[in-house]
Structure 1
Amino acid sequence: MSESGSAGFTHLTESGDARMVDVSAKESSARSATATGRVLLAPEAVSALRDGEVPKGDALAVARVAGIQGAKRTPDLVPLCHPIAVHGVDVDLQVRDEGVHISATVRTADRTGVEMEALTCVTAAALGLVDMVKALDPQAVVSDVRVEEKTGGKSGDWRRSR
């Protein structure tokens, strides 16, 4: 079967059924993706994070580990995502006045990119953080999760322009 299926969509067969794209003929190459997101929090929760007084413990450490785990488990959560070797994950959490800014970079040397792993990393970190602070702020909001840039692969480098 050709690389493109139904109506040119790579993840559909000619009859329109979902499929996982065969990447076995692609060359492995170094690839990375960076995603960002935010957790918007009440001032009391921000203060507790800054002062290290979150009742459940070190919320930022838990969020960081949740993010790393999320990146590694992405194919278990995203149905057509290829299982790839995740070679590196950096998760940065910065407490700001409105909440926490999350940035994650995921790296591999494989046959397909790691954009989904970076997005899952940020989302899992955000959910880990919400779980840690929900008693302080039950109205916490996960917001603005998006890919910022990616490198490597056949299509080359890409960076968000807006």
Structure 2
Amino acid sequence: MVAIHGKEVTHRSAIAEGFIIFSNPESMNSLLLESNKKGDVISIARIAGIMAVKKTAELIPLCHPISITGIKVDLTPNEKEISVKVSCEVHCDGKTGVEMEALTGATVSLLTVYDMCKAVDKMMRISDCRVVKKSGGKSGDIDLYHPSSNSEHHR
């Protein structure tokens, strides 16, 4: 593991997002109508993402265990795109960032949607899971949606 004992404690945050794309509108109906045989897909995937954030250091071998101060997982269906966007926001006050925690939460939420819906759609696709925003620490801020706000040395 990378030594972090010399780093300053700062407030750090990260947002990761990803998408699950269904193969047809009918496949997404069980999620939208809350009629999936396994239960409420959105609520269960949200809880799965939160649980995954808290277990990140157990899953990623060289990831530091950190004290999380906040987690927010949102799942937003898009009927036009036949998809669900997952966004996972994580906060901590620590010596290392929370990008891995945000990515883990988003990914596990997406995997949970896949697991719960695979009986009705075997052609779903998980796509574009990535960090879209981070703040805190020596490397500064990064925001893929507002590049002009990024720290100078990341341009």
TM-score category, normalised to shorter length = 0.7 to 0.9
Aligned-partner Cα distance in 2 for 1:99–1:155: 33
State which structure, 1 or 2, has the greater radius of gyration over its C-alpha atoms: 1
Aligned-partner Cα distance in 2 for 1:40–1:79: 30
Aligned-partner Cα distance in 2 for 1:83–1:94: 29
Task: Describe the SS at the equivalent of 1:87.
Answer: strand
Which of 121, 126, 147 pairs up with 1:137? 121
Structure 1 alignment gaps of length 5 or more: 1-19
1:148 corresponds to: 132
User: Per-residue displacement from partner, 1:54-100 (whole Å, max 9, x unpaired)?
Assistant: 11110111100110111111111111111111111101101112221
What is the percentage of aligned positions where both structures have the same residue? 44
Matches within 5 A, 1:58-73: 58-73=40-55
The normalised TM-score by structure 1 is: 0.84
Aligned-partner Cα distance in 2 for 1:138–1:60: 18
Aligned-partner Cα distance in 2 for 1:119–1:153: 18
Aligned-partner Cα distance in 2 for 1:86–1:139: 35
1:55 corresponds to: 37
Structure 2 alignment gaps of length 5 or more: 148-155
* C-alpha RMSD of the superposition: 1.0
1:75 corresponds to: 57
How far did residue 149 of structure 1 move? 0.7
8 Å CA contact 1:46, 1:96 repeated in 2: no
Task: Describe the SS at the equivalent of 1:21.
Answer: coil
Aligned-partner Cα distance in 2 for 1:113–1:22: 13
